[in-house]
Amino acid sequence: ALGFLAAGLVLELLELQFMRPLLAPLGHLLPAFEGTEPPSWLLRRIAAGEAHGVTVFLRANAADAEGLAVLTEQLHNTAPGRLPLLIGADQEGGQLVGLGHDTTRFPGAMALGAADDPKLTEATGRAMGRELRALGITVDYAPVCDVAVEPGNVSLGTRAFGSDPAMIGRHAAALTRGLRESGVAATPKHFPGFGAVDADPHYELASIDLDLDGLEARELIPFRAAIEAGASMVMSGHVALPAVTGDRALPATVSRQVMHEILRNRLGFNGVSITDAMDMKAVAQGIGGVIDSIVAVRAGVDLLLMTPDRTAQKRLEEGLRQAAVRGLVPASRVRASQRRLLRLRRWLKHFAWPERAYVLSQAHRDLARRSARAALTLVRDDAGLLPLRPVEGDRIVVITPQPRELTPADSSADEPLGLADAVRRHHQDVTDLRVPAEPAEADIRAAREAAAGATAVIVATLATNVQPSQARLVEAVLETGTPTVTVAMRTPYDLADYPRSATHLCSYSIVPASVGAVADALFGGSPIGGRLPVDIPGLYPRGHGLEVSQWP
């Protein structure tokens, strides 16, 4: 036993020797870069022990899975001490698939919340973790622990599990366990929660007017559950908490009361804390961003998440160097962070790198389909229209808007939304009418004319609260009197914008598994049992859903 202890101490001393350059403020930066090959400055920094890892982004680095695996392998092999790097990505599923189409696109958090099966969520986390790890990714910026109580929160969209803190906590814990079992660090976000705001932190700072008791009763519940389930990291949210900090202009990211007193002392988190991207407009930019970064480190943050903007990175690097010279970043603060970071990297070293065959495997695609089917929620079928039973000569019109990215935390533009193709598997005579994300009057007229001559119409909508002309198109179709099914394929709130729809379904996602599940359910090919994970304001409460165990 003493021999093993001595060997462990020697190994730790060697690691600390390799990592000695990190005992400086630059170790707080988690950089990023543009391209499918790492730049020389980054390789030099990693080789010199001056970086704990990087973030890879969909648009910047994830052109294809094979190239990404080669990239991350080169980065890991460059690291001294043979410690895996912290290579993070936004692989949430649904609205944000940060590693692109070469990975399995799971339906996402709100779909899992609608299914409300923690075992399914844990299996999803395990599968996502295997794919991430097989591609050299060791950190997933998930689960999203925000409580979705504000329908106008476009940035959040379907990234949250729902609006019930206890339910979110169950699923955040389940996803954390699944990721952790696969050797990936789960990162609950956006602490202490920004689901109650109607502003996008990518563009502005918003406030949550809750005191500490209010946060404990709602926002903190999912984070506590994820931390107790073994979350390795926690990501801050750029939101103000004036009732806690006394300052409506102070983001939680740079508040010691939030990032130390609440996160560490109250919730007992002893892992790695990381900011959301420091280029978001909810925190100061330019020279103000340098000051906010210094304040964040002093507040107890371990890592500052950077985007590929090298000019901004250099500005923060120089600012942190000068802060250290002037004694503004205490050495004890730096050492505490580095101990936590090294502990996490040592934990990652215990896991083998899975075969790349896990990525987009048949088993994972089947799991995505299971999740998509379990999520489907039949909100209303007042006319008894479902299941659709077309006969020869019947014509079905399928109308879909062009998906677009409503926030930078969004990969929807990459999804083809081939609902008409999925419907053709059940009935051949299908008219595929695709309209812009914001249909013009000519598009609405075309939809009305197509619907008037059809046997039935299926209309998909994508967040009508921010794309209102989609709702006007639905109203035009309903006016024809043709039997119509509306499908909210992003946020479930759309029915509030076209409440006359008599048959309404929610899928919470436009990934292929969800599109196929919608088509199958409409024609009676699968049961429906999902429940609304949020309220549809003025219409239906959370938990509502018509269960169809077997179609007639």
Distance, in Å, from the CA atom of 510 to the CA atom of 507, rounded to the nearest integer, reads: 8
Within 8 A by CB and 6+ apart from 467, the residues are 401, 406, 437, 438, 461
C-beta atoms surrounding 538 within 10 Å? 8
CA dihedral defined by 261, 266, 272, 276, rounded to 10 degrees?
A: -70
Residue 449, Cβ density class (10 Å: 0-12 exposed, 13-18 middle, ≥19 buried): middle
C-beta atoms surrounding 507 within 10 Å? 30
Q: Which two tokens stand for residue 217?
A: 């009763």
Q: Which of 96, 98, 78 is nearest to 88 (CA)?
A: 98
Distance of CA 106 to the CA centre of its chain: 11
Distance, in Å, from the CA atom of 86 to the CA atom of 56, rounded to the nearest integer, reads: 11
Which contiguous run of DSSP H or E holds residue 304? strand 304-305
Residue numbers annotated as active site: 202, 276
Residue whose pair of structure tokens reads 């930019």 in the numeric block: 285
Q: Which two tokens stand for residue 551?
A: 């179609």
Contact 296, 257 (CB under 8 A): no
Which contiguous run of DSSP H or E holds residue 273? strand 272-274
Longest CA–CA separation in the chain, Å:
83
Name residue 401's beta-bridge partners. Answer: 435
C-beta atoms surrounding 246 within 10 Å? 10
Exposure class string for 463-496: b at 16+ Cβ within 10 A, else e: bbbbbebbbbbbbbbbebebbbbbbbbbbbbbbb
Q: Which of 163, 548, 114 is nearest to 372 (CA)?
A: 114
Which contiguous run of DSSP H or E holds residue 452? helix 441-452
Distance, in Å, from the CA atom of 238 to the CA atom of 441, rounded to the nearest integer, reads: 38
483: number of CA atoms within 13 Å, CB side?
16
Distance of CA 405 to the CA centre of its chain: 14
